[in-house]
């Protein structure tokens, strides 16, 4: 009787582990979102996860849509934290079927970050974001006095 109970318990544990592994490995969808990272934090009481918010603006003057996301990889989390306040493109995978918030508060798991330099303002029109200014060499004093 005890052996049957332990075998059944082991089967349930193995099935649950297989389900979680499959849910984490398989993605329902994947894609990219571009915008400005405006919030990023390490949250949770027991299961700490990186949670963030990307502000999506399609055209200047339009209302802001927010994209909420989760990051599992610490290296990617460092890249996102460094990009806070900057325009970026986030590559994400949508995971469906994870039952608890220990895996993250959202279904969208960011797997990559890329800095975005061009800001599209309309079909076929884009504005280059200014690069950090490079100091121009100063003119010699004799040339400036002429």
Domain parsing of the chain, residue ranges: 28-128
When mean pLDDT is compared over 21-30, 49-58, 118-127, the highest value belongs to: 49-58
Under a CB-based contact definition with an 8 Å cutoff, are residues 68 and 39 in contact? Answer: no
Mean of the pLDDT values across residues 66-79? 92
pTM of the model: 0.66
Is residue 1 very low, low, confident or very high in pLDDT (cuts 50, 70, 90)?
confident
pLDDT at 136: 44
Q: Does 26 score more than 50 pLDDT?
A: yes
What is the structure's pLDDT at 137?
47
pLDDT greater at residue 115 or residue 81? 81
Q: How many Cβ atoms are within 10 Å of 39's Cβ, its own excluded?
A: 12
**CATH number belonging to domain 28-128:** 2.40.50.140
- 7, with CB counted inside 10 A (0-12, 13-18, 19+), is exposed
How would residue 122 be classed by pLDDT, with cut points 50, 70 and 90?
low
DSSP state of 20: H
Burial class (CB in 10 A: 0-12, 13-18, 19+), 16: exposed
pLDDT of residue 90 exceeding 60, the answer is: yes
Structure token pair of residue 60 = 């200047």
In this structure, of 16-25, 83-92, 115-124, the range with the lowest mean pLDDT score is: 115-124
Residue identified by tokens 């469906």 is 96
Q: Which residue has the higher pLDDT, 56 or 99?
A: 56
The pLDDT score that the predictor gives to residue 139 is 47
């Amino acid at each position: 009787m005890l052996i049957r109970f332990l075998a059944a318990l082991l089967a349930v544990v193995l099935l649950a582990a297989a389900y979680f592994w499959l849910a984490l490995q398989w993605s329902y969808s994947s894609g990219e979102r571009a915008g400005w990272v405006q919030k990023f934090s390490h949250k949770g009481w027991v299961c700490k996860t990186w949670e963030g918010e990307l502000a999506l603006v399609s055209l200047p003057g339009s209302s802001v849509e927010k994209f909420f996301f989760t990051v599992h990889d610490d290296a990617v989390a460092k890249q996102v934290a460094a990009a806070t306040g900057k325009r970026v493109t986030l590559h994400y995978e949508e995971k469906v079927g994870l039952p608890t918030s220990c895996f993250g508060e959202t279904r969208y798991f960011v797997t990559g970050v890329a800095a975005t330099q061009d800001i599209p303002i309309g079909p076929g029109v884009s504005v280059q974001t200014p690069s950090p200014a490079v100091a121009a060499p100063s003119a010699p004093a004799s040339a400036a006095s002429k």
